[in-house]
Structure formats: structure tokens, C-alpha cells
Amino acid sequence: MSANIPSDVISDILSRLPVKSLSRFKSVSKSMLAFLGDPEFVEQHLKKAFLKNPNLVLKLDSKLFYVEDEEWSKARRLPLPFSLCLENVEISGSCNGILCISDQQCNQDIFLLNPSTGVFKHLPFSGFDIAVVENSFTTIGFGYHQAEGDYKVLRCAYIYDKPFIDIDSYECEARVYSLKADEWKNIGAIPYHLGYKAAIWLGNDFLIWKATRGLGRAGKYLIVSYDMSREEFKEIPQPIVNYNGELHMEVSVFDGLVSTFYLSKYDEAHIWTMKEYGVKDSWELRFVIKLPERVESYNYMFLKPLVILKNGEILLEAGEKTRILHDPKKDSYRIINPIRGAPRRYLVTPIVGSLVSPLGYHQG
């Protein structure tokens, strides 16, 4: 691209720029367009992007907004050309700058969208051998399978065709979609009842869910992982906690580690992280967060730690109206200012800004 500047220097400079800036360069020349789409450069840019604070996707009903400046000061409405295919819009996971978007009602139509580039893919219909009826339940997981260099979507269906006696009695089936093969594979039944919330990608070959077994007081919450290499589900041991029953437990990923956060009706969040994957004794109580009194009244079950920023602050969501930054070193809090162009209420999904294409490298 230049006779005077080494290509590796140019590559290093460009890999530090946000996608919004790089998109302007695509019309400069065919060689620049090819360079920005080269898998090696896309990977280099992705690694640099992970060193920055994430972008934010804001969701209000079936509308999505995108915040991609470092100050989180301005949002733009995300065009969804496929929105007519969906009765509702649900974010069913994110990975390497790609959103998995599905229908809240039936999860029939699934799309992969890069909000930074606007490129999207409509996945082929998964289909199921079991009869998916009106009162069926589905859940989705989306992640990158490092061992195969492939993006995968896991879709599970449960058939509620019996009296509500025992969750474990419902018929279920799971299928896995491979972006490389562009097809679904039946992996059979699941020994757990996965939660309605989408799985969280651990950052390697695992997807993590909150799951349940049994019913009522006899039932219990579990942390379940899906190994994309072995194509098997496994229960992850939970931390030993002495909390009373006035807590709500959720599963997350903090700093690439399996995490749980326990939410108290006294507006506290206890965040535990598993330092060594699958090892019960490696659980560590990482943070205890108590919200200040000035935070607007909300249900404690909607308190949600989202991500640890590069300066050590924790971004928390307190329902649809309030976002908070907590500095654990100073034990201080600050409410994020309203974002220009954003709706008054919304839910947040942090996402890295990337050039990764949901069409796959070989398809543009």
C-alpha cells in the first residue's frame, strides 16, 4: 500500500483504529478493501480491540442502539433489515463483536449481526425431530470454538407437554450450528433444564448457563457448561456460600473466568470468580458491592454487574433506567450520564468493536 512505509507498520497503525474509522478507508482502493478484510488483520484488530473498553448495545423492546465512542456519549439507532422476520428482538449472546439475535417468542429465526459493520447473516432453519408445540421453550448459546476456528450456535428446545410436576420430565433436544459448515447438527437430549437467558461465552471453547433440576423446594440452581470440542454438557461446582434464602443467583463471566453473582434484597451484589475452570476450591469472593441510597428504587433482582473496565471500575445495570460505575478500590459510585440519542430506558449488552464477519472469512 505504500512504497515508503513497511506493511507491518501500516498494519499496526490501522489495527489500533476503531471500526468506524476503518470503514471509511474501504472505498480508498481495492487493495485497501482486501487488506481490511484479510483474516490476519481482522484477528490483529480484534486483539487490540479487547485491550479497550467495550462498545455498548442498548435494547429497548425491539429497537437496538449502538454506542461506539470511547466516552459512551452518543448512541445511534441500529438498522435491522431483518426486523420484519422477527415478532420481537432478543439478544441471544455476543462473541468477538458479533451479536446473535433471535425471536423472543419462538426463536425460529436466528441472525448473526456485526453492529460495527452492519453485516449480518440469516441462519438456516434448525428444525427439530421432536414436535415443537406452542407451549415449548427454547434457549440459545453463541460462541467461538477456538479449537476449530468456527462460530457456533447451540439451540435447545423443551416440550412442555405434561403437567408441571418435574422439570426433568420434559422432552428436549439440542442442535448445534456451525458457521463453517453452514448447517445444524442434532446432538440429542440434555440432562439439564437450561435457563431462559442466553448462554455466556467463556472466551474459549465453553458456553455457560444457569440451569435447574427438579421442581419447587426440591429443585436447585446449577451452573452448566457446554464443551464445544467434546459436544457435552457438564455441571460446574458452585462456591460454598452461607447466604440465606433471600438471594438471587445469576451466572456471568468476569475477566474470562466463570463467575456467579448473588443479589440480596438489601441491594448487595457478591461476585465470585472461579480462578481455575472446573476446580471447586478455586472459587474466590472477588467483590462485595452495595449500592448507594441515591440510586432510584428498583427490584434487587435487576441489579446486574456487566463488565470490568480497563481502569478497574465495574459497570453495573440497575434495571432499565440506571447504569452505575463502581470503583472497588475507592468504594465509590457514579451514575453514568444520559447518552445522547439513547432512549430513556434500555438494557445494556457490552460488546467489542470488531471487523469479524458473520458471513465467515471465505464468504466476504
208 domain-assigned: yes
* 361: in domain: no
Domain shared by 29 and 61, yes or no? no
Same domain for 78 and 17, yes or no, is: no
Instruction: Give the domain range for residue 202.
Output: 52-351
One domain, residues 283 and 310:
yes
pLDDT digits (tens, 9 = 90+) for 58-113: 999 889 999 999 899 999 999 988 877 777 788 999 999 999 998 755 557 899 99
| pLDDT tens-digit series, residues 314-324 | 998 887 888 88
pTM for this predicted structure: 0.89
Res 285: pLDDT? 93
pLDDT at residue 306 is higher than 70: yes
Angle at which helix 39-49 crosses helix 7-14, to 10 degrees, equals 40
Whether 24 and 157 share a structural domain: no
Assess whether 34 and 72 both reside in one domain: no
CA distance 164 to 166: 6
**CATH classification at residue 270:** 2.120.10.80
Whether residues 338 and 309 share a domain: the answer is yes
Domain count, the chain: 2
Instruction: Flag whether 189 is in a domain.
Output: yes
Q: Exposed e or buried b for every residue in 81-112, given b needs 16+ CB within 10 A?
A: eebeebeebbbbbbbbbbbbbbbeebbbebbb
Is 277 in the same domain as 231?
yes
pLDDT tens profile 332-364: 888 888 999 999 999 999 999 999 999 975 433
Does some domain include residue 1?
A: no
Domain identity same for 22 and 88: no
